[in-house]
Amino acid sequence: MRKIIVQKFGGTSVADTDKIKNVAKVVIKEKQNGNDVVVVVSAMGHTTDHLVKMAKALSPNPSGREMDMLLSTGEGVSIALLAMALQAEGYDAVSFNAMQVGILTENIHSKARIIDIKTDKLRKNLDEGKIIVVAGFQGVTEDGEITTLGRGGSDTSAVALAAALNAERCDIYTDVEGVYTTDPRVVPNASKLDEVSYEEMLELAHAGANVLHPRSVETAKQFAVPLRVRSSFKLDNLGTLILGVEKMELYKPVAGVAADLTQARIVVCDVPDTPGVAANLFSALAKENISVDMIIQSYARKISNTNDIAFTIDANDLSKTLAVLEKLKDKINAGDIKVDDEIAKVSIVGAGMIDRPGIASTMFETLAKLGVNIRMISTSEIKISCLVDKIDAQKSVKALHTVFDLECDVVADVKGDLPDV
C-alpha cells in the first residue's frame, strides 16, 4: 500500500505567491517519492492577525461565532492558491475546507477540539492520484457551524489528519530548522535537537516554546504519529523528530528551556479555609473555558482561618477571568483580588530529570545568583517552572541554558523579532 505523508506549512511558508510556489515544489518532491500527500496550510503571513485587528476595530468583544466565521477565511485563500500552484506544475490537486472534509469539532468557538475526521472523501481523492490541500485551523460542528481550533491550530489539524488517515508521518514545515534547546532569538547558540520525546515537547510547548501548538503534540502522542518539525526553506536539514521516549537513544536531564511571556497571575486573597472553595472557583473558570496553569494555595492562617489562592492564566483570558471572579467574589467570601500581568513563566524540561536529584536546586541557585525573585514554582515529573518578573525572563533563560549545558558552537541562523518583553 502507498504511504500517506501529511505536510503542514505555516503562515510564513505561504506568505506570498513566490513562497507558495516554493511550497508546491516541496509537496511535489514528496509526491515524486511515491507517497500520497495531504497538505495542510495556515493563512498567508500575518493574515489572521490582520483579521483580528479589523474585528477589534469594530467591536471590543466580537461574538465567538462571527470571529470564527471571519478567521476561517484566511485558510480558505491559501488552500486555493496552493492547489492552483500545484496544478500549474502539472499535478492533479484539489483543495478542501474543513466543512468539505468533515473535520468535526465540539461546539465551542475560538478553541474547539476535533472530535472526528471523515476520511472517505480524502481516501477517494488520494486513490485518484490527487494531492489534497486542506485548510488548517478550522472545523465544523455537527450543526454545520464553523469553528476554529485556537491560534496556531493548523498544527493540530495536520496531526489529527495524520492520525485519522494512519499516515506514515506528519511533517510540520516552518521558518525555523527544528526544535531548539531554547528560543535562538534569545540565545543565539541554542542547539537544534535531533530528537525529542512527545512528553518533553508537550511540556516545552506548554511552557511557551512557540514551535508547535500544544494540542498537536498531545494528539501525536495519543495516536503515536511520528512528527517532524523542519524548515521549508532548508530542505537538506531533517529538523527535529518527535517520538515516543522509549524510542529515543539518549536524553539529557534538561532538554530545553522556555519562557512564556503571555501569562497573568491572579491572587484571590483571604478565602475561607473550608471545603468547596477551590471547587467553586475553578469550576466557574472552567465553565467559561478558561484554562488555569499554575495553582498555589497558601497554608491557612490560624486566626482568621483563611488562605490565599494564587493561579496563572493566559493573559488573553484576563478580562474574562476578572468578570467571573467579580461575580463569584461574594459567593466564596473572598477578600481582595490582585492581578499581575508583568510576569513570565520560565521552565526547564527534560525526561532525564526523573530520579535525578539536584536539578531543581541548580535552577533556583542560578536564578538566585542573578537576583531574580521567584514568585511561584510548579513542577511535573519532567518540568520545573518558575514564575518571575517579565523583565527577568530573558536573562533567566540565558543563564539556565548555560548552566544545563545546552549550548552548541554554531550560531543558529534565525531571523525574526525578539519576543516582546
CA distance readout (Å), 308 to 50, 172, 278, 371, 377: 40, 43, 10, 26, 15
Please name the residue that has the C-alpha cell 505523508.
5
Beta carbon of residue 155, minimum distance to Mg ion (angstroms, whole number): 6
The dihedral built from the CA positions of residue 184, 185, 187 and 189, taken in this order, carries a sign that is: positive
Q: Binding residue for ligand ASP (CB under 6 A) from 20, 43, 204, 225?
A: 43
- The answer to whether 173 contacts ligand ASP (rule: CB under 6 A) is no
Beta carbon of residue 78, minimum distance to ligand ASP (angstroms, whole number): 9
- The answer to whether 111 contacts ligand ASP (rule: CB under 6 A) is no
- The answer to whether 312 contacts ligand ASP (rule: CB under 6 A) is no
Among residues 220, 96, 72, the alpha carbon closest in space to that of 151 is found at: 72
Beta carbon of residue 209, minimum distance to ligand ASP (angstroms, whole number): 15
Count of other CB atoms within 10 angstroms of residue 412: 19
Whole-angstrom distance, CA of residue 390 vs CA of residue 407: 23
148 near 74, Cβ under 8 Å? no
146-148 β-sheet, strand order = 114-117, 103-105, 138-140, 146-148
- The answer to whether 11 contacts ligand ASP (rule: CB under 6 A) is yes
Whole-angstrom distance, CA of residue 349 vs CA of residue 280: 32
Q: Binding residue for Mg ion (CB under 5 A) from 152, 178, 214, 350?
A: 152
Beta carbon of residue 313, minimum distance to ligand ASP (angstroms, whole number): 19
* φ, ψ for residue 181, nearest 5 deg: -65, -25
Nearer to ligand ASP, 174 or 385 (CB): 174
Grid cell of 4 as nine digits: 500517506
Beta carbon of residue 74, minimum distance to ligand ASP (angstroms, whole number): 5
Hey, is 132 helix, strand or coil? strand
User: Cα–Cα–Cα angle for 47, 52, 57, nearest 5°?
Assistant: 125
Q: Pairing relation of β-strands 240-243 and 195-197?
A: parallel
Binding positions for Mg ion, 317-376, rule CB under 5 A: none
208 near 42, Cβ under 8 Å? no
Whole-angstrom distance, CA of residue 126 vs CA of residue 39: 12
- The answer to whether 385 contacts ligand ASP (rule: CB under 6 A) is no
* Piece in contact with ligand ASP (CB under 6 A), picked from 120-128, 147-155, 330-338, 390-398: 147-155
Binding positions for ligand ASP, 69-88, rule CB under 6 A: 74
Beta carbon of residue 175, minimum distance to ligand ASP (angstroms, whole number): 12
Q: Pairing relation of β-strands 383-389 and 376-380?
A: antiparallel
- The answer to whether 350 contacts ligand ASP (rule: CB under 6 A) is no
Nearer to ligand ASP, 136 or 208 (CB): 136
Hey, is 25 helix, strand or coil? helix
- Among Mg ion, ligand ASP, none, what binds residue 306 when CB lies within 5 to 8 Å by partner kind? none
Nearer to ligand ASP, 174 or 396 (CB): 174
Q: Binding residue for ligand ASP (CB under 6 A) from 45, 153, 208, 214?
A: 153
Binding positions for Mg ion, 188-217, rule CB under 5 A: none
The CB-side HSE value for 181 (13 A sphere, CA atoms) comes to 25
Beta carbon of residue 152, minimum distance to Mg ion (angstroms, whole number): 4
Nearer to ligand ASP, 68 or 293 (CB): 68
User: Cα–Cα–Cα angle for 266, 271, 272, nearest 5°?
Assistant: 160
- The answer to whether 151 contacts ligand ASP (rule: CB under 6 A) is yes
- The answer to whether 10 contacts Mg ion (rule: CB under 5 A) is yes
- The answer to whether 48 contacts ligand ASP (rule: CB under 6 A) is yes
Nearer to ligand ASP, 110 or 402 (CB): 110
- Among Mg ion, ligand ASP, none, what binds residue 232 when CB lies within 5 to 8 Å by partner kind? none
Binding site for Mg ion (CB under 5 A): 10, 152
Binding site for ligand ASP (CB under 6 A): 10-11, 42-43, 48, 74, 136-137, 151-154
